[in-house]
Amino acid sequence: MNKIEDPANTNTAAMADRWSAGADAADSGEAAFRPLTRDEAQRLRLSSPSISPWVVLAGQLATGVIVALVAWGLTGRQSTGWSALYGALAVVIPGALFARGLMSKVASMNAGAAVAGFFLWEMVKIGMVIAMLFAAPRLVSDLSWPVMLVGLVVTMKVVWLVLLLQPRLKKLSVIN
């Protein structure tokens, strides 16, 4: 008769081998986790500073205004500029509400409240964007949907440019 191996015993042996290999690596000092000292943590914070959401929103708003002025200048129609600006505002205003909600004292009480607050304010932000898009034809006379969507998308995507430029701008401000 052929002997059939029990899969449970095979898995247990394999896990034991992995655990002992990990313990050997930790004993030899290889890839062992070591908490940072206070000085190391401060140096890490200084080398990778956090970026305020207000800086990102300001960059998005500035980009939205530039897109609106370019749209107005290229077409010569004021309504085209307003359409692009409204698209930018459909990103910036809900984003500002979201940032304000996340920075409240309730959201920072504990991890559970922070996660719940994040999801709550994200849903509020999405709802506000949808409401603004539905209200656009009533609020902007002679609305150009393609131009409004260009303003919206460019404003949304500029966040990466703001994040890339932020460390360089901080270095320039420290030098001056």
d(CA 152, CA 85): 8
Q: By mean pLDDT, which of 19-23, 35-39, 146-150, 161-165 is the weakest?
A: 19-23
- Amino acid 169: pLDDT: 55
Same domain, yes or no, for 93 and 170?
A: yes
pLDDT in tens, 34-55: 888 888 888 877 777 777 888 8
Same domain, yes or no, for 18 and 79?
A: no
Q: By mean pLDDT, which of 52-61, 104-113, 157-166 is the weakest?
A: 104-113
Q: How many domains does the chain have?
A: 2
Same domain, yes or no, for 39 and 62?
A: no
Higher pLDDT, 17 or 44: 44
User: Cβ-count burial of 139 within 10 angstroms (0-12 exposed, 13-18 middle, 19+ buried)?
Assistant: exposed
Same domain, yes or no, for 138 and 88?
A: yes
Is 1 inside a domain boundary?
A: no
- Amino acid 48: pLDDT: 73
Same domain, yes or no, for 57 and 113?
A: yes
Could you give the 3-state DSSP secondary structure of residue 61? helix
Q: Once rounded to an integer, what is the mean pLDDT over residues 10-21?
A: 54
Is pLDDT of 86 > 50? yes
- Amino acid 163: pLDDT: 77
- Amino acid 176: pLDDT: 44
Which pLDDT band holds residue 65 (cuts at 50, 70, 90)? very high
Is pLDDT of 30 > 50? yes
Is 13 inside a domain boundary?
A: yes
Same domain, yes or no, for 54 and 121?
A: yes
- Exposed e or buried b per residue across 17-49, where buried means at least 16 C-beta atoms within 10 angstroms of its C-beta: eeeeeeeeeeeeeeeeeeeeeeeeeeeeeeeee
Domain residues for 86?
A: 50-175
Q: Once rounded to an integer, what is the mean pLDDT over residues 48-77?
A: 90
Same domain, yes or no, for 73 and 148?
A: yes
